[in-house]
Amino acid sequence: MAGEFRHHILKPAACWGTIALVCLNCLYFFSSSFFRTRFYHFFITNHILSASLLLPAIVLHKRSCTPWVLAALIIYILDLLLRAMKTRITTARIRALPQLGLTRVEIPEINAGWRAGQHVRLRVVSRGMGLLGWSEIHPFTIASCAQTPEGMVLMCKKAGDWTEKLYNLANRLSSSSIEDGQGQGTVRVMVEGPYGGTGHRMFSSFSAAVFVVGGSGITFALSSIQEMINADNAGNSRVKVIELIWVVRDPSALLPLLPILISFVRSSAFAPLRISVFYTRASIGKFPFPEEFFKKASVGRMIGPDAHALASEKDRDGLCGLVIGVCGPVQLADGVFEAVGKVDGTRRDLVGGIEVHEETFGY
């Protein structure tokens, strides 16, 4: 048997079949969340090499598979063409926000064409991103609604090598721009999308809306709340009350977004907006806000959220249903779903039901 196996395995068709099998195994095992989150560069390199070698190996292993490989190539080429059609090359303004550990990206030339909750894929074309930084593309949730003076706004949290390079680039460009009398630097970017979103679920069709977000998940809430307030002021919304719960590490994280949040509170004339900020770490040094500030600004602060109490309270306010939007770590989304599951069924029916839309971190 040993001689027979060696004789057959050395045939070209068998060799290419073995190579195709190895490529499939690499695609499967190294695509798990363990490798994606801890060894992303290894994952993406392995994915590209294995996928590129798999298709020709299948053809060389079995010529009759050629039509199926060609069909896969046609679908892939069509996907590339559609992505190219949805890509714009433009100039963006970038600014580092140290309190949040993220980079704010403003793209004034793109000011329409998306809905709240959607995301785009961003590629930064700059030597400051490194030798191959321009080749990387990353998804980010849009943090603004359409038709605003600043255009499309993205908030890119430092969560890896690429986003850290973007943050450092924003710091360098901002420093040089301040010396020139400007406030922030500019870079060329490629924006692909938008994709995703809330689908057929329209937040403005509910009587009450609650957003539970953690850290950089505030981007999802900002665009959604801004869109709901605009619709309500135009008389195109049922929403009677909006609540935002934001979980951050430190109270200072509120500082960069405070003007935006206060403007939301002041502009929500018909659907009152209540904002609660929960921080998970004790503040170091002097607390950045006086106690009376939160009472005047309708912005509250607490140590930790009670998701069950929140769901029970808000479903009493609603008449045409309650929608809960959650964006953050998986644990945060699990807590919201668990709290919603504990709401009494009779109460749920009386208010028109409770729906949850989740956007969790990770891939």
Q: How far is CA 54 from CA 24, 41, 59, 62, 317, in A?
A: 7, 20, 9, 12, 56
pLDDT at residue number 23: 95
pLDDT at residue number 6: 72
Give tens-digit pLDDT for 32-83.
888 887 888 889 889 999 999 999 999 999 999 999 999 999 999 999 999 9
- The DSSP element (H or E) to which 13 belongs, if any, is helix 12-29
pLDDT at residue number 292: 55
Per-residue pLDDT at 346 exceeds 90? no
pTM for this one?
0.78
Contact between 271 and 206 (Cβ < 8 Å)? no
Domain boundaries, the chain: 2-84, 86-196, 203-360
pLDDT at residue number 154: 94
pLDDT at residue number 124: 94
pLDDT at residue number 312: 53
The first and second tokens of residue 151, run together, are 């255009």
Contact between 239 and 228 (Cβ < 8 Å)? yes
Contact between 274 and 241 (Cβ < 8 Å)? yes
- Residue with the larger pLDDT of the pair 160 and 48: 48
The first and second tokens of residue 184, run together, are 């922030």
Per-residue pLDDT at 318 exceeds 70? no
Secondary structure in 3-state letters for 154-178: EEEECCCHHHHHHHHHHHHHHHHHH
Name the CATH topology of 203-360.
Rossmann fold (3.40.50)
- The whole-chain average pLDDT of the chain stands at 83
pLDDT at residue number 149: 82
Give tens-digit pLDDT for 197-225.
888 888 888 888 999 998 888 989 999 99
Query: Residue 299 corresponds to which amino acid?
Result: V
**Sorting pLDDT into bands at 50, 70 and 90, what band is 307?**
very low
Among 27-31, 85-89, 358-362, the range scoring the smallest mean pLDDT is 358-362
pLDDT at residue number 304: 42
Give tens-digit pLDDT for 244-302.
999 888 777 788 888 888 888 888 878 888 888 888 776 665 555 555 555 544 444 44
pLDDT at residue number 351: 75
Which residues have C-beta within 8 Å of that of residue 322, sequence separation ≥ 6? 206, 207, 208, 209, 210, 311, 314, 315, 351, 352, 353, 354, 355
- Spatial distance between the Cα atoms of 182 and 159, rounded to a whole number of angstroms: 28
* Mean pLDDT to the nearest integer, 100-115: 91
**Sorting pLDDT into bands at 50, 70 and 90, what band is 103?**
very high
Q: Which CATH architecture has domain 86-196?
A: Beta Barrel (2.40)
Length of the chain: 363
